Structure formats: structure tokens, C-alpha cells
């Protein structure tokens, strides 16, 4: 594996900063203060044209005046100064930089040209850099904070790569209040050199990072992104939020970092292919990422629920069910053990509902340990463990009744030993998440967070957090992904495409399209071109009635709407009549296909299209006349391993139709997977193929057969 420059960039022994002064309200000074105040132990070398000292440190009038070559250069200067300064750092031998300055690709064509000059300058001196237009980085193990906000949290185990600077700096107080701590956090900005895939690779190699969170507005090299993630996700969870899939999101992303966004469904498929867990809010990005980082892997999908209220318990159970987790009823033996510790009106089933029962020890440790020891579930969700937070809330009502007791005295009187509860999950090496409406003002929440036990602020959020662990279990257990070398390009297929292009065609006719499919072992209908009504009848008898008769012209891409498709013709007179009707409607020069009539009640669609940054993407979904209305499709990026192709088949809502269904046998998933693989192969071997549309694929018995195909060329 190629050495990743971030290993050095994230661990500098000396930092030179240009753009920091003595005005604490300037951005560069704020970032310099973060370096100095948050514990970085390396050398700090400010460069300032006028000031002799910056923040108490000797300043140097020029980069060329620095007493030594810094490991890392940080630039927070006007745009026009960036390239000259980077050249000076290159001359003295600095090999890594963080460029905070904006005004490049994100501003339009002129900025794009300027960014190209920046890359050329860096390349000339072998400098690897983050940015431009980024906010910096955090290495909590090194106490290195190069962002704007102060960072006082302890070192963490969640890595973060973000195409937004806000999410690696403004969120520091938000995360600290929730007990979530970064190992490393990196803002990539415009990704002119080091991009988010480099960061993903680095965090995958980083021993302090247990899980990786990605905030994404667009990916420029989709294939590399997927291949890199596939090496990481089987052993280290990766979670992502993508926001460029809507029109508004794509527009905002382009103006923000110059990212090239893609359709939401494309990224959805790419994440699944990569083994990345997708979330749809930054709150879930952090909270689910923290759960994945801190909790032991799930061994199964059975959840135990313990709560002090029926509503939260029901909400947890319902959400678990929706997201594929099971909330099984406890055995009679376990229920009897639980009943000895709870009120008579409480429920000992799963969820265990203690009702309003103030013995927090029973809720937080005693019953959970009984459940864990039973082996009847694989994880646990606890709602309602609280102590000081509740006392503070009821204090105004009970103060007088308790003789005007002071709040501190009340808290001391009802102080509970919560060490057992907080240590219980770690002691048992068992996945436990907490739901509580209290933050760190409650001693239970604070204790849980201090032990790196995830605390969610609602029951449903806790259940969804646990569901992300289930997703990673499925990713760990997916089949091995292997990509075989591409086969030799079919010269016959290339000839068909070249001849069509020479004629100025924008698409192949159906017969030629299917011929190319067959050359790459995609099962297609038996058929023949008929040049006369008599030949159509002869072909129909040869194939065996019933048959289908269709127009076959590259100028007619959608034949059904024009009445140029005649199906299930059982008599020779019907074949003759269909042939004549097509000639009359489409013109005498229009070729006609006579095809076998494939019988089957299940129809699917497949295809291929190309996306900037990703190349050919393969589609699979529910087919037939309702394809566009139902839009039950999924995408993956070519080339496809058989595991990836087969996963596609079960990634649609109508996946039950592929199994035994109403007397129909299960479809041959391997055969479907091979069709999808072949579509990717065609796209990679024949770049002139712009799109492929196969609809329908009919399941005949248990085998797929391509009945109609459109190939768009350019």
C-alpha cells in the first residue's frame, strides 16, 4: 500500500504559521491560539512581516528567515499570497502544508485556474497539503488542535473526515456535552491534493481510531472511494452522511467546496457496495459513530429493553422492529428471576417495564445483569436511569415538605453509588446503549458518558443507534468481495458498435443490442429478423407459437407507446397481421423482429449509466410497465464482484419476488448476478456505450431471460 502523507502531516514536530498575529479576533490568530493553548508540545514558528513576536513567540519576517525547516506549514492568508508562500516553504524543504485560505475552485473558473497553479507549485517541491478552503485538523492524541474552537475534551476513538470545516470545530462543545470524543478530525476543504479518500485510508490505518465518520458533499473518484472503504469496513465501522443528492444540496455543495455531487440513489448504492453505514443527519453521524466506536460488535440481533416507563419501552421495541432488530419475549425462567425485584404491577417480559420505580440500582444494573447472564439477547437498551437530574427538577416542589432543605443537602441525602451501573457494560463486554432525557446535569448520564457508554436523548434514537451496530454486523459477515480480471473484449461486439457509430446512430437496434448481450453471456430471447410477412410466419413456426413481433429500428427507442410491439401471437394470421401493421406504422424500411414469447409472472429491469466521478453504474430493480412509477431500483459501481451483484438483487423493496412466491420457485440469484456483472463488463470494455436499458428481464421458471434491450452509444 502506498504510504499515506497524513501519517506525517498529522504528527508534526514543528509548525510554521503564516497569518497569525496578536489580534485574537483574527482567524489565523485564533487557530494559533488553539495550537498553543490546547497542549501541543512541538515547536511553534510564526511568520509575520511586521511584528517581532506573535503570542509571546519570536516571529520571523519571512519564510526564508525561519531558523529551521518546519515539518508543517499552515497558511491563513489572502488568496494571492498562498502560492508565493508555498513556493518559499518548498525552497526551504517543507513537505506538508495545511492551507486554510479560500478563494480557489469554489469561486468559479478563475479560482479553478488558480487552484491548478497551486497544485503545480506543490508538485514542483513535493509538498502534500490539505485544502485550500479548509478549517484545519485535530489530533487528540498529540493535543494538536489547528482549528478555530478550543478543544478541551480527552483523546477519543472516533475519527472524522469532513468536507465541511464546521463539523470538525464548531461542534467541539456539542460533542463534549454528549461524551463524544474525536481521535482525529480532518477538514479536507477543496481536496486539491489530499482528498477525503486519503483521509479515509489514513483513519483506517490509525490504531487510535475505532470507527470513522464521514461528512460528504461529493466524491470525485468513486471507484477508489469504494475500493478503499471495502478494505476497511469488514473490521472497522465507517458511517457517512451525504448531502449532495438533492438539487438544493448539490447547489450548496458546489458553491461551498466545489464538490461535484451525484444523485442520492447513486451514493446510496455506492455506500452499500463499500460497506458504509449511511445516516441522514449530522446528529446521527456523531452519535451512531460513537456507538460503533465504543461498543463491542453485535453477535446477533436480539435486543433486551429495560425501562421505567411503558411509552419509551414501546417506542424502543417498535423502532427496533422497524430497523430489523428483534425484541424477543423472555423465557419464563428469566421472567421469574426479574419478578422478584420489581413491583407486582410491573412487566417482566421484554421490554421490562418497572413503571415509576425509584430504585435506580434495579433498573440500571441488577436486572440488566440478569438479562446479560441469561444469554437470551445480544444487546441491551436501558431507558430512565436518573438521579441528580431528577432531584433538581422535583426540588422546587419537595423543598418545603422536607423542611426547606438545601438542594446540595437533598442531593447528598439521595446520592446513589452508580459506579456499578456505569461499569456493568464494560465488565460484561456487552453492547449497551442508554436512553435518557437528561444530559450531563444528571449523575447517571455523566457516569455513563465518562465510561464511554453511548447516551441518546430519546428512546427511538437509542434504538436506531443500536441498529447501526446490526448494519455493521451484516457488513462484517458479507461474502468475500473479489473482482476477476476483465475478459477479452469481443471483437464482434466492437464491430457492431463501430458500424452503428459510423452510420450516425445514437442507439443500437434491439436485435444488435441483444446480440452484444449474448456475446457477453447474458441470456436473451431466441429471435430473428424477418424481411417479409412470409418470413415472419416461417420464423414463428420455427421458434414455436406463441411469439412476439416488434419493430427493430435504432431510431425508435420506445416502441410500446407507438403500438410497435405485438405480444403473445398464437396464430400465424396474427403474426402476418402484426408484421404488416408495424410496416404500415413505422415505414416499409423498418426491420421487424420475431421473437420467442417468454412466459413468466415476475419482471425485473437492469441497466447501466455513467456518472462523473464514478464511471459506469449498474442498475437493478423491479421491471415491467410500472418501472418508472415505482422506482424500486438500486445501483452499484462497475466492476462488480459476484457478491456485490447478488447483494443488489436483495436491495430492492420487491426482493420477496426473487424468493419462492405463490407457487413460483426462487429465482436463480447467481444468474441474475452474472447479468449485472456482465453489464458492468460491457461498459468498461466499450466506453462508446453510454447507457444500457434492459426491461423486462422475465423470470422463466427460475432463470432470468432478457426480453428487451436498448443500448445508447456515443
Q: How confident is the model at residue 562 (pLDDT cuts 50, 70, 90)?
A: confident
End-to-end CA distance of the chain: 37
Contacts of 643 (CB under 8 A, 6+ apart): 478, 479, 480, 481, 482
Contact 623, 600 (CB under 8 A): no
Query: Between residues 482 and 145, which one has the greater pLDDT?
Result: 145
Q: For 376-412, write each residue's pLDDT tens digit.
A: 999 999 999 999 888 899 899 999 999 999 999 888 8
User: Is the pLDDT confidence value at 434 over 60?
Assistant: yes
Report, as an integer, the average pLDDT of 184-213: 98
User: Is the pLDDT confidence value at 342 over 70?
Assistant: yes
Burial 637-659 (b: 16+ CB within 10 A, else e): bbbbbbebbbbbbebbeeeebbe
pLDDT at residue 559, as a whole number: 83
DSSP three-state, residue 151:
coil
pLDDT at residue 251, as a whole number: 46
Among 74, 22, 69, 467, CA closest to 237: 467
User: Is the pLDDT confidence value at 318 over 60?
Assistant: yes
Among the residue ranges 197-211, 240-254, 346-360, 559-573, the one predicted with the least confidence is 240-254
Among the residue ranges 234-238, 242-246, 332-336, 519-523, the one predicted with the least confidence is 242-246
pLDDT at residue 257, as a whole number: 37
pLDDT at residue 675, as a whole number: 97
Pick the CATH number of 526-597 from 3.90.1170.50, 3.30.1490.20, 2.60.40.60, 3.30.590.10: 3.30.1490.20
Report, as an integer, the average pLDDT of 249-278: 72
Distance CA 500, CA 442 (A): 73
Q: What class, spelled out in words, does domain 603-713 have in CATH?
A: alpha beta
Domain edges within the chain: 6-292, 295-476, 526-597, 603-713
Q: How confident is the model at residue 2 (pLDDT cuts 50, 70, 90)?
A: confident
User: Is the pLDDT confidence value at 692 over 90?
Assistant: yes
Distance CA 704, CA 694 (A): 12
pLDDT at residue 253, as a whole number: 44
Among 99, 106, 168, 91, CA closest to 137: 168
Distance CA 275, CA 230 (A): 6
Main-chain phi, psi angles of 493, to 5 degrees: -65, -40
Q: Which three cell numbers stand for residue 668?
A: 436463480
pLDDT at residue 260, as a whole number: 43
Report, as an integer, the average pLDDT of 176-187: 97
Q: For 619-673, write each residue's pLDDT tens digit.
A: 999 998 778 778 899 999 999 999 999 999 999 999 999 999 888 999 999 999 9
User: Is the pLDDT confidence value at 213 over 90?
Assistant: yes
pLDDT at residue 247, as a whole number: 59
Q: How confident is the model at residue 413 (pLDDT cuts 50, 70, 90)?
A: confident
Contacts of 447 (CB under 8 A, 6+ apart): 418, 419, 421, 422
CA dist 39 → 113, 135, 155, 177, 236 (Å)? 38, 19, 12, 21, 29
User: Is the pLDDT confidence value at 1 over 90?
Assistant: no
Contact 677, 704 (CB under 8 A): no
pLDDT at residue 556, as a whole number: 83
Share of the chain above pLDDT 70, in %: 97
User: Is the pLDDT confidence value at 526 over 60?
Assistant: yes
Q: How confident is the model at residue 45 (pLDDT cuts 50, 70, 90)?
A: very high
pLDDT at residue 248, as a whole number: 53
Mean pLDDT (the chain) is 94
Among 648, 641, 687, CA closest to 484: 641
User: Is the pLDDT confidence value at 314 over 50?
Assistant: yes
Contact 341, 367 (CB under 8 A): yes
User: Is the pLDDT confidence value at 279 over 90?
Assistant: yes
Residue range 295-476, CATH number? 3.40.50.261
**Are 526-597 and 603-713 equal in CATH topology?**
no
List alpha helices for 520-649, DSSP H: 533-543, 572-586, 627-630, 642-649
CA 552 vs. chain centroid, Å, equals 42
Q: Which three cell numbers stand for residue 625?
A: 410497465
CA 473 vs. chain centroid, Å, equals 15
Contact 364, 422 (CB under 8 A): no
Share of the chain above pLDDT 90, in %: 87
Distance CA 591, CA 583 (A): 8
Distance CA 4, CA 202 (A): 6
Contact 448, 455 (CB under 8 A): yes
Pick the CATH number of 6-292 from 3.40.50.2020, 3.40.30.10, 3.30.565.10, 3.40.50.261: 3.40.50.261
Report, as an integer, the average pLDDT of 357-361: 79
Amino acid at each position: 500500500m502506498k504510504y499515506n502523507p497524513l501519517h506525517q502531516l498529522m504528527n508534526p514536530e514543528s509548525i510554521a504559521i503564516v497569518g497569525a498575529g496578536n489580534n485574537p479576533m483574527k482567524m489565523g490568530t485564533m487557530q494559533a491560539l488553539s495550537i498553543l493553548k490546547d497542549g501541543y508540545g512541538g515547536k511553534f514558528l510564526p511568520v509575520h512581516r511586521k511584528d517581532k513576536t506573535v503570542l509571546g513567540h519570536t516571529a520571523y519576517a519571512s519564510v526564508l528567515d525561519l531558523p529551521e525547516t518546519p515539518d508543517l506549514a499552515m497558511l491563513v492568508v489572502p488568496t494571492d499570497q498562498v502560492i508565493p508562500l508555498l513556493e518559499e516553504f518548498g525552497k526551504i524543504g517543507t513537505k506538508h502544508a495545511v492551507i486554510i485560505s479560500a478563494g480557489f475552485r469554489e469561486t468559479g473558473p478563475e479560482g479553478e485556474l488558480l487552484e491548478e497553479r497551486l497544485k503545480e507549485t506543490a508538485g514542483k517541491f513535493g509538498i502534500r497539503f490539505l485544502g485550500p478552503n479548509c478549517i484545519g485538523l485535530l489530533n487528540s492524541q498529540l493535543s494538536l488542535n489547528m482549528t478555530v474552537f478550543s478543544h478541551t475534551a480527552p483523546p477519543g476513538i472516533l475519527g472524522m473526515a469532513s468536507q465541511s470545516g464546521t463539523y470538525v470545530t464548531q461542534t467541539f462543545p456539542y460533542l463534549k456535552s454528549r461524551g463524544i470524543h474525536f481521535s482525529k478530525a480532518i477538514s479536507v476543504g477543496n481536496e486539491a491534493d489530499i482528498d477525503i479518500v486519503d483521509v479515509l485510508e489514513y483513519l483506517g490505518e490509525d490504531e487510535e481510531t475505532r470507527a470513522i465518520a464521514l461528512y460528504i458533499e461529493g466524491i470525485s473518484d468513486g471507484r477508489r472511494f469504494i475500493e478503499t472503504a471495502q478494505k476497511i469496513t469488514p473490521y472497522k465501522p465507517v458511517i457517512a452522511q451525504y448531502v449532495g443528492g438533492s438539487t438544493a444540496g448539490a447547489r450548496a455543495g458546489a458553491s461551498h467546496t466545489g464538490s461535484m455531487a451525484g444523485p442520492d440513489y447513486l451514493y446510496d448504492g455506492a455506500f452499500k457496495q463499500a460497506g458504509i453505514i449511511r445516516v441522514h443527519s449530522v446528529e446521527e453521524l456523531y452519535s451512531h459513530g460513537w456507538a460503533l466506536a465504543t461498543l463491542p460488535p453485535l453477535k446477533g440481533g436480539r435486543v433486551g429493553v429495560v425501562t421505567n416507563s411503558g411509552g419509551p419501552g414501546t417506542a424502543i421495541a417498535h423502532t427496533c422492529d422497524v430497523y430489523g432488530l428483534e425484541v424477543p419475549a423472555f423465557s419464563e425462567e428469566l421472567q421469574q428471576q426479574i419478578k422478584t425485584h420489581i413491583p407486582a404491577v410491573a412487566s417482566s417480559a421484554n421490554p421490562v417495564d418497572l413503571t415509576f420505580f425509584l430504585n435506580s440500582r434495579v433498573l440500571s444494573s441488577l436486572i440488566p445483569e440478569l438479562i446479560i447472564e441469561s444469554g437470551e439477547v445480544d444487546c441491551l437498551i436501558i431507558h430512565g436511569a436518573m438521579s441528580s437530574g431528577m432531584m433538581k427538577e422535583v426540588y422546587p416542589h419537595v423543598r418545603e415538605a422536607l423542611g426547606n432543605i438545601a438542594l446540595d443537602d437533598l442531593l447528598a441525602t439521595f446520592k446513589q453509588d452508580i459506579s456499578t451501573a456505569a461499569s456493568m457494560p464494560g465488565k460484561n463486554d456487552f453492547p449497551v446503549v442508554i436512553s435518557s432525557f437528561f444530559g450531563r446535569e444528571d449523575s447517571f448520564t455523566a457516569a455513563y458518558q465518562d465510561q464511554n457508554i453511548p447516551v441518546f436523548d430519546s428512546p427511538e434514537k437509542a434504538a436506531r443507534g443500536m441498529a447501526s451496530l446490526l448494519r455493521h454486523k451484516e457488513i462484517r459477515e458479507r461474502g468475500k468481495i473479489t473482482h476477476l480480471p476483465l475478459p477479452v473484449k469481443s471483437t464482434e461486439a466492437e464491430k457492431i458498435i463501430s458500424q452503428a457509430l459510423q452510420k450516425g446512430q445514437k442507439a443500437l437496434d434491439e436485435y444488435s443490442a441483444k446480440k452484444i448481450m449474448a456475446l457477453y453471456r447474458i441470456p436473451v430471447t431466441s429471435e430473428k429478423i424477418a424481411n417479409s410477412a412470409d418470413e415472419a410466419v416461417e420464423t414463428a413456426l420455427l421458434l414455436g407459437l406463441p411469439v412476439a413481433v416488434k419493430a427493430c429500428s435504432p431510431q425508435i427507442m420506445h416502441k410500446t407507446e407507438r403500438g410497435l410491439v405485438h405480444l403473445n401471437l398464437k396464430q400465424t394470421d396474427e403474426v402476418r397481421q402484426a408484421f404488416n401493421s408495424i410496416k404500415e406504422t413505422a415505414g416499409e424500411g423498418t426491420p421487424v423482429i420475431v421473437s420467442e414469447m417468454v412466459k413468466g409472472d415476475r419482471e425485473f429491469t437492469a441497466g447501466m449509466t455513467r456518472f462523473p466521478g464514478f464511471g459506469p453504474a449498474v442498475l437493478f430493480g423491479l421491471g415491467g410497465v410500472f418501472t418508472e412509477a415505482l422506482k424500486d431500483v438500486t445501483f452499484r459501481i462497475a466492476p462488480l464482484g459476484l457478491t456485490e451483484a447478488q447483494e443488489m438483487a436483495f436491495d430492492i423493496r420487491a426482493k420477496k419476488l426473487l424468493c419462492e412466491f405463490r407457487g413460483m420457485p426462487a429465482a436463480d440469484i447467481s444468474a441474475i448476478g452474472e447479468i449485472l456483472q456482465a453489464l458492468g463488463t460491457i461498459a468498461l470494455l466499450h466506453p462508446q456505450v453510454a447507457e444500457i436499458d434492459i426491461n423486462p428481464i422475465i423470470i422463466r421458471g427460475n432463470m432470468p431471460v432478457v426480453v428487451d434491450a436498448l443500448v445508447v452509444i456515443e
